[in-house]
């Protein structure tokens, strides 16, 4: 019996399927799959914000269990960093392809 890979369970991008162009989240699932395979550089090339998202969620989990001084400000900074990274990488991908 052959085990299915994580790629077999990925959701299709409805934006790309219906409208014909990628959304801001396109590549995130494949990037996470590449991380699980240990292909860290390829994961960054697929979706550059993957590491900032992991950092944000990691900090949210730590801050939930341990109250960190200025935690809310750090969360806002990390969230803004994520937004800037996602939008800039999307624009680069959109205009350089």
Tell me: the pLDDT tens digits for 11-33? 777 777 888 778 888 889 889 98
CA distance 59 to 7: 27
Q: Which two tokens stand for residue 61?
A: 């989990």
Identify the pLDDT of residue 2: 40
Q: Taking Cα atoms as reference points, which of 8, 28, 25, 7 lies closest to residue 16? A: 25
Instruction: Return the percent helix, strand and coil in the chain, to nearest 5.
Output: 70, 0, 30
pLDDT tens profile 29-67 = 889 989 988 999 999 999 999 999 999 999 999 999 998
């Amino acid at each position: 019996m052959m085990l299915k890979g994580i790629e077999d369970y990925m959701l299709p991008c409805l934006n790309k399927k219906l409208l014909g162009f990628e959304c801001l989240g396109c590549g995130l699932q494949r990037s996470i799959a590449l991380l699980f395979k240990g292909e860290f550089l390829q994961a960054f090339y697929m979706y550059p914000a993957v590491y900032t998202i992991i950092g944000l969620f990691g900090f949210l989990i730590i801050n939930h269990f341990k109250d960190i001084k200025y935690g809310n400000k750090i969360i806002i900074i990390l969230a803004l960093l994520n937004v800037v990274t996602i939008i800039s990488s999307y624009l680069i991908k959109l205009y350089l392809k």
